[in-house]
Amino acid sequence: MKTMTCRQLGGPCDLALHGDSADDVIKAQDQHLKDATAAGDTRHQAAHDAMTGRWKNPIKGMGWYNDTRKAFAALPEG
C-alpha cells in the first residue's frame, strides 16, 4: 500500500490517501474532493472543478493521469 496526499494530487490539503494502485488513490481523492465541497469547504472547490473538468480535454486528462501513475509508482511501499 502506498500513500499520496491531497496536495500531491492537486488539492489544497495534506490529507493522506492510501491505495494499492494509483487508481485507488485517485478514486479516494475524487471522493475526498466531493465530500469536502459538499460540506462547504471552499478551499477544495478549485481542485474539485479541475477533477470534474479533467476529462473534457482527454489529452490533458490523460497527461495528468499518466503523471499521477508515475508519481505513485515512484513512491515507497508503506
Strand spans (E) along 1-78: 2-5, 16-19
pLDDT tens digits, one per residue of 20-36: 999 999 999 999 999 99
Q: Which residues contact 48 (CB under 8 A, 6 or more apart)?
A: 33, 34, 36, 37
- Which ranges of the chain have pLDDT less than 70? 78
3-class SS of residue 19: strand
**Residue 40 region by backbone torsions, left for phi larger than 0, else alpha for psi between -120 and 50, else beta:** left
- Confidence at residue 34, expressed as pLDDT on a 0 to 100 scale: 95
- Confidence at residue 13, expressed as pLDDT on a 0 to 100 scale: 97
Task: For the chain, give every domain's residue range.
Answer: 2-74
pTM tops 0.85, yes or no? yes
